[in-house]
Amino acid sequence: MTKIINIAENHIPLLKFLYPTHSIISAEGPTNRVILRKEIKSKMDKEIVMYKYTDSIIISTQIYDEFWNEEELSKQALTFMQQRLSSRRRVVPAFGKDTFTTDLIAFIFFETPPAEESEELLQLFEQYGSVNFIAKYAQLSTKHPVQVLNAAMNTFISRILVEDTTSLFYKKMQLKHREKLKRNFLQSYDNMKLRPRDDTGLSDVKFYMDLLA
């Protein structure tokens, strides 16, 4: 079923994750499973769109059926987690307004709250993609629980994937990693779900490295 929604500009990146099988298009073309910005200005416009597009998301600020604010996006995320990721979560925690999109993306896939960034963790992020990353991760795992390191990495990756950052550090990381992360994320995530879990963090490190393959 096609939906016509109004959504804030900074929340639009969430749609890529909530609808992974949909294509994001900037102009009319495909009509099945697409995400498209198109202003609906009249009842006739709406009828044409509903007739033309199937299983799609149309973003309009004038005429729309649903307003997807942060509360609604949290509900959509929870439904996605339960139906697509077999999550048992019943509640999405409250996130800060400035980081809502990135924090929700991290929570959808990893079910961990956003992690605070320390100087040591920033050093780990700097090594991501280099031959020193595994050694740095192993070093920090002797000082911090693996769950803390993974929560930090999950938040870091989520922030790279979201395009509207004002941080110079994350702009640099986006230039360095974003295209590979976007290309590999869903397949790497599926592979991680099939991989046996362990307490050493090695399975998670494999996931982080697969993302940049």
Q: Whose CA is closest to 69, among 130, 116, 22, 7?
A: 7
User: What's the confidence (pLDDT) of residue 161?
Assistant: 84
Task: Name, in order, each residue with C-beta under 8 angstroms of 104's C-beta and a sequence gap of 6 or more.
Answer: 14, 73, 74, 77, 92, 95
Give dist(CA 46, CA 78) in Å, integer.
Answer: 28
Task: Name, in order, each residue with C-beta under 8 angstroms of 176's C-beta and a sequence gap of 6 or more.
Answer: 129
User: What's the confidence (pLDDT) of residue 44?
Assistant: 96
| Per-residue tens of pLDDT for the chain, all 213 residues | 999 999 999 899 889 888 888 888 888 788 999 999 999 999 999 999 999 999 999 999 999 999 999 999 999 999 988 887 778 888 888 888 888 888 888 788 767 655 556 788 888 999 999 999 999 999 988 888 887 788 888 888 988 887 667 778 888 999 999 999 989 988 888 888 777 766 666 778 888 999 998
User: What's the confidence (pLDDT) of residue 148?
Assistant: 78
DSSP state letter for 20: T
Q: Cβ distance 141 to 201 under 8 Å? A: yes
User: What's the confidence (pLDDT) of residue 198?
Assistant: 66
| SS3 at position 4 | strand
DSSP state letter for 23: E
